[in-house]
């Protein structure tokens, strides 16, 4: 173990004497350099601050002259926080004495993580009131929001920390500040069920506003099922009759799907229906006219009379469709909960063996997501993955003879087409392209869908449709992790791990062959200058290497480490692989390697085509 790691481990465990012993013969310059080195992404000062070892913190600051601002990676509740300064870690963990020491040694009170979370926000998140007071006294800015626009007051409300929220309000926190998605602290109270804090906010003139999805705090409470908030806000004078009705109907839908309490749902739907009836001061308030029947919902329509409502109690399945209809009408198709609960209901059908109904609901939800969410959004990716896992499960069990359900080419092809369309949408969004992990996830799922499609028998027309869709994907030249093309990914075992449940196995010769047949560039390069042949070699797949070379892969092309695929395969194999270099190397290749090896000048002396050929080697 090197000395940096030893010091880091000792700092983590609070072993000051061991640190002193390890550093006893170091010069001041060496001490300062060691203090700033990182192990597991963090410095010794960061990890000792995280675990509250005050003596170690003081020793590192005073004896080793550790930089009090150097951030790094630190773990909280299984989540890795990147770019966290020592003061942030101490504040999040609740170590007041360490917080005081770090500030005394010059730590910036507003120094934030990579997601712009400040030490004050970290203390608010975990309810450390004394640290919150101390940081504010030392000029911590309450209004610095994280990357989502979420402030210290908002997180205190969401986590239900009443005393912290009161302190921040007393200090003048902006009660009507909005996040990036337009929600306020009132929305956070509604989502967490913090009624006492909500009453404090309203006394401080908090406004009942709509967020980016058009949600009021009252509707937010209905979605999350916090009946105490719903009852309180519904009886506020500022709440209109229409708002009360929507809240009660939405709460009923929540009782159906989230709380699984059909009788409870009926109570709220009855109250909403009563409010729709004519009274002394107002006439009746009918529901909007029904839209066209939705096949995924079994063509169910919302009930519009008290008699129709009472008849629901005899048909639980019809009640569940009512919940989906109510939620879609009130929240709209762009709200994530609308498609989420459609998918949830489909999953319940799948659990009971009704896969046709599940697929119908999931397709409807997927269309809704693609029409309303950003390309490659996590929710849409989750939908595609669910389809792949379901199709894999049904195909496997049908092969065993344990299922009568039949997955058709049309089912799989429809989802593959929509997944490629999702990548097309992402590529077209040039101003705000998705990050590599999103592309990697999307491409992995597409490759798994192709893997499953290759298991189905196809007519010539269906084969053409499948290849045309794969061609559409390749034409986009999408790149995943490390600059991998779909062909790179198809020959890499890492592609196998895409979700919780197994779908396809990679490297896959069948998928690679399909990609090659549809025009995949056999000599494409990733960020390390690896061709798909290099990746197949790294995965110990001589059969797939033979397939790639038959398709024209350049056998002795070198990567960034100047290694050929054959050399990588040789490193992977304990014996002699079934590939013979002399069968694939041409005299041209030998000449190009000799030019590179002996550094012979050639640029500008030969054609550009020949220059590119030499550079391959």
pLDDT digits (tens, 9 = 90+) for 164-212: 999 999 999 999 999 999 999 999 999 999 999 999 999 999 999 999 9
How far is 419 from 432, CA to CA, in rounded Å? 19
pLDDT of 555 above 50: yes
For 152, the token pair is 């210290």
CA distances from 176 to 141, 183, 195, 234, 492 (A): 16, 9, 17, 20, 50
132 and 116 share a domain? yes
Q: What percent of the chain has pLDDT over 90?
A: 78
367 and 252 share a domain? yes
pLDDT of 116 above 90: yes
- Asked whether residue 551 is domain-assigned, the answer is no
CA dihedral for 315, 316, 322, 324, sign (positive or negative): negative
Q: What percent of the chain has pLDDT over 70?
A: 94
75 and 14 share a domain? yes
- Asked whether residue 40 is domain-assigned, the answer is yes
184 and 135 share a domain? no
pLDDT of 577 above 60: no
Helices (H), 277-354: 306-311, 316-331, 336-351
pLDDT band at 398 (very low <50, low <70, confident <90, very high): low
Q: 149 in the Ramachandran plot: left (φ > 0), alpha (ψ -120 to 50) or beta? A: left
Number of folded domains that form the chain: 4
Q: What angle do CA 461, 462, 463 make, to 5 degrees?
A: 90
Average pLDDT over residues 451-472: 95
- Asked whether residue 249 is domain-assigned, the answer is yes
By residue range, what is the domain housing residue 600? 586-616
Q: Count of alpha carbons within 13 Å of 45, Cβ hemisphere only?
A: 32
445 sits in which H/E element: helix 436-453
pLDDT band at 575 (very low <50, low <70, confident <90, very high): very low
233 and 249 share a domain? no
pLDDT tens by residue, 306-363 = 999 999 999 999 999 999 999 999 999 999 999 999 999 999 999 998 999 999 999 9
Could you write out the three-class secondary structure of 88-105? HHHHHHCCHHHHHHHHHC
pLDDT band at 576 (very low <50, low <70, confident <90, very high): very low
235 and 245 share a domain? no
- State the helix-helix crossing angle for 241-257 and 316-331, rounded to 10 degrees: 130
User: For residues 472 and 420, is the Cβ–Cβ distance under 8 A?
Assistant: yes
How far is 471 from 460, CA to CA, in rounded Å? 16
For 56, the token pair is 């170690």
- Asked whether residue 496 is domain-assigned, the answer is no
How far is 306 from 302, CA to CA, in rounded Å? 12
What contacts 130, CB < 8 A, 6 or more positions away? 96
1 and 137 share a domain? yes
- Asked whether residue 41 is domain-assigned, the answer is yes
pLDDT tens by residue, 368-384 = 999 999 999 999 999 99
Rounded to two decimals, what is the model's pTM? 0.85
How many DSSP H helices and E strands does the chain contain? 32, 2
301 and 180 share a domain? no
129 and 1 share a domain? yes
pLDDT of 46 above 80: yes
pLDDT of 239 above 60: yes
If one counts every other C-beta atom within 10 angstroms of the C-beta of residue 478, the result is: 22
User: For residues 552 and 586, is the Cβ–Cβ distance under 8 A?
Assistant: no
User: For residues 421 and 413, is the Cβ–Cβ distance under 8 A?
Assistant: no
53 and 133 share a domain? yes
State residue 282's pLDDT score: 77
User: For residues 448 and 390, is the Cβ–Cβ distance under 8 A?
Assistant: no
Nearest Cα residue to 378 out of 387, 389, 369:
369
- Asked whether residue 82 is domain-assigned, the answer is yes
- Average pLDDT in the chain: 92
**The CATH number of the domain where 66 resides is what?**
1.25.40.20
319 and 185 share a domain? no
Domain edge (last residue) among 317, 351, 373: 373
State residue 235's pLDDT score: 93
- Asked whether residue 206 is domain-assigned, the answer is yes
- Asked whether residue 547 is domain-assigned, the answer is no
If one counts every other C-beta atom within 10 angstroms of the C-beta of residue 450, the result is: 25
Domain edge (last residue) among 330, 345, 373: 373
252 and 154 share a domain? no
If one counts every other C-beta atom within 10 angstroms of the C-beta of residue 2, the result is: 9
State residue 591's pLDDT score: 73
Domain edge (last residue) among 141, 176, 207: 141
Terminal alpha carbon distance of the chain? 39
pLDDT band at 280 (very low <50, low <70, confident <90, very high): low
pLDDT tens by residue, 65-110 = 999 999 999 999 999 999 999 999 999 999 999 999 999 999 999 9
pLDDT of 463 above 90: yes
State residue 603's pLDDT score: 83
């Amino acid at each position: 173990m090197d000395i940096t790691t030893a010091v880091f481990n000792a700092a983590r465990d609070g072993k000051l004497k061991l640190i002193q012993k390890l550093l006893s013969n170091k010069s001041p310059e060496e001490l300062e350099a060691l203090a700033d080195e990182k192990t597991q992404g963090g410095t010794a000062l960061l990890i000792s601050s995280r675990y509250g070892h005050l003596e170690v913190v003081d020793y590192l600051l005073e004896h080793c002259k550790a930089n009090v601002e150097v951030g790094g990676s630190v773990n909280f509740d299984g989540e890795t926080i990147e770019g966290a300064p020592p003061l942030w870690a101490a504040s999040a963990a609740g170590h007041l004495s360490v917080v005081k020491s770090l500030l005394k040694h010059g730590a910036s009170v507003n120094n934030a993580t990579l997601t712009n979370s400040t030490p004050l926000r970290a203390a608010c998140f975990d309810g450390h009131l004394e640290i919150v007071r101390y940081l504010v006294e030392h000029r911590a800015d309450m209004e610095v929001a994280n990357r989502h626009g979420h402030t210290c007051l908002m997180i205190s409300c969401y986590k239900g920390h009443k005393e912290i929220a009161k302190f921040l309000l007393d200090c003048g926190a902006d009660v009507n500040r909005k996040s990036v998605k337009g929600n306020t602290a009132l929305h956070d109270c509604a989502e967490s069920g913090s009624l006492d804090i909500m009453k404090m906010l309203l006394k401080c003139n908090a406004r009942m506003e709509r967020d980016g999805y058009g949600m009021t705090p009252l509707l937010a409470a209905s979605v999350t099922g916090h009946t105490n908030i719903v009852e309180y806000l519904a009886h506020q004078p500022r709440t209109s009759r229409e708002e009360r009705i929507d809240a009660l109907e939405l709460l009923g839908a929540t009782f159906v799907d989230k709380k699984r309490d059909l009788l409870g749902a009926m109570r709220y739907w009855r109250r909403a229906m009563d409010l729709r009836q004519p009274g002394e001061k107002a006439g009746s308030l009918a529901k909007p006219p029904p839209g066209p029947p939705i096949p995924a919902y079994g063509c169910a329509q919302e009930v519009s009379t008290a008699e129709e409502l009472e008849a629901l109690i005899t048909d639980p399945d019809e009640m569940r469709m009512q919940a989906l209809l109510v939620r879609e009408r009130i929240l709209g198709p762009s709200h994530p909960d609308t498609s989420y609960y459609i998918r949830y209901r489909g999953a319940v059908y799948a659990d009971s063996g009704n896969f046709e109904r599940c697929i119908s609901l999931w397709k409807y939800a997927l269309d809704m997501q693609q029409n309303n969410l950003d390309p490659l959004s996590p929710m849409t990716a989750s939908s595609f993955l669910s389809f792949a896992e379901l199709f894999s499960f049904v195909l496997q069990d049908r092969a065993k003879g344990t299922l009568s359900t039949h997955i058709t080419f049309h089912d799989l092809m429809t989802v593959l087409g929509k997944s490629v369309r999702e990548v097309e949408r992402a590529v077209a969004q040039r101003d705000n392209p998705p990050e590599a992990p999103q592309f990697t996830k999307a491409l992995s799922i597409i490759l798994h869908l192709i893997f499953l499609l290759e298991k189905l028998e196809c007519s010539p027309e269906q084969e053409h449709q499948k290849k045309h869709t794969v061609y559409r994907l390749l034409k986009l030249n999408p790149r995943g992790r490390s600059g991998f093309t779909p062909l790179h990914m198809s020959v890499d075992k890492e592609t196998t791990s895409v979700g919780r449940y197994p779908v396809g196995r990679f490297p896959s010769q069948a998928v690679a062959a399909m990609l090659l047949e549809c025009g995949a560039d056999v000599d494409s390069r990733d960020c390390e200058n690896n061709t798909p042949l290099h990746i197949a070699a790294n995965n110990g797949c001589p059969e797939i290497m033979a397939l790639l070379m038959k398709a024209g892969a350049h056998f002795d092309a070198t990567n960034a480490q100047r290694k050929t695929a054959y050399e990588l395969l040789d490193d992977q194999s304990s014996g002699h692989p079934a590939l013979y270099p002399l069968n694939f190397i041409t005299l041209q290749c030998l000449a190009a390697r000799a030019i590179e090896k002996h550094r012979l000048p050639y640029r500008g002396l030969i054609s550009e085509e020949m220059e590119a050929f030499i550079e391959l080697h």
